[in-house]
C-alpha cells in the first residue's frame, strides 16, 4: 500500500511540475481571471489583446502564442465576427491538465485570430471549465 501511495505522489509531482513550467504569463493571467462556471465559456479576449494586440504581424502573433505555451495552428476557416478577414486564421489552444492524471482536462483556453493584410484584425478568446 505504501508503495502505491508513493508512486501516485511522484506521478502527481511530475505532472504538476510539467504543466507549471509550460505556462506563460498570458495563461497564468487567464487562469487567474474570473473563473468560468462548469460547461460555460468566459470571454477572455481583452486579456489576450494585451499580449497579441491588433495590428501585429501574423508571424509575431503566432510566435507570441507559442512562447506563452499555446499549441498554434493556421487553418483555412471563416472566423465568426471577423467581417472581411482573410480566409486563413490562427487558432491557439492551451489545456490545463487535471491534477489527477487519469481525469479529463480541468480547463481549456482557446484563441482565434483573424487577419486583414497580414495583421491581426480580430481576436476571440475563451476560457472553458470542464465538468469537475
Work out the burial of residue 73: count CB atoms within 10 Å of its CB; fewer than 13 is exposed, 13-18 middle, 19 or more buried.
exposed
On the question of pLDDT at 115 being above 90, the answer is: yes
Question: 39-75: per-residue pLDDT in tens?
Answer: 778 899 999 999 999 999 999 999 999 999 999 999 9
- Local structure of residue 131 (DSSP, 8 states): -
User: Measured in Å, how far apart are the chain's first and last C-alpha atoms?
Assistant: 27
Cell, residue 105: 482536462
pLDDT in tens, 62-109: 999 999 999 999 999 988 889 999 999 999 999 876 666 666 667 789
Per the prediction, the chain carries an average pLDDT of: 79
Write down the pTM of the prediction.
Answer: 0.75
DSSP track, 7-44: HHHHHHHHHHHHHHHH--HHHHHHHHSSPPPBT-EEE-
Rounded Cα gap, residues 29 and 132, in angstroms: 21
Predicted local distance difference test score (pLDDT) of residue 92: 95
What domain count does the chain have? 1
In angstroms, rounded to a whole number, what is the distance separating the alpha carbons of residues 120 and 62? Answer: 10
Q: Is the pLDDT of residue 7 over 60?
A: no
Residues 6+ apart with CB under 8 A from 46: none
Could you tell me the residue range of the domain that residue 37 belongs to? 2-129
Amino acid at each position: 500500500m505504501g508503495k502505491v501511495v508513493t508512486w501516485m505522489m511522484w506521478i502527481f509531482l511530475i505532472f504538476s511540475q510539467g504543466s507549471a513550467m509550460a505556462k506563460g504569463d498570458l495563461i497564468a493571467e487567464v487562469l487567474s481571471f474570473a473563473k468560468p462556471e462548469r460547461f460555460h465559456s468566459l470571454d477572455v479576449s481583452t486579456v489576450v489583446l494585451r499580449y497579441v494586440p491588433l495590428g501585429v504581424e501574423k508571424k509575431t502573433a503566432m510566435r507570441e502564442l507559442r512562447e506563452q505555451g499555446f499549441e498554434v495552428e493556421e487553418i483555412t476557416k471563416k472566423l465568426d465576427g471577423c467581417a472581411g478577414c482573410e480566409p486563413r486564421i490562427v487558432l491557439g489552444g492551451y489545456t490545463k491538465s487535471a491534477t489527477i492524471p487519469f481525469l479529463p482536462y480541468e480547463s481549456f483556453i482557446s484563441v482565434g485570430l483573424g487577419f486583414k493584410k497580414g495583421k491581426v484584425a480580430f481576436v476571440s478568446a475563451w476560457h472553458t471549465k470542464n465538468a469537475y
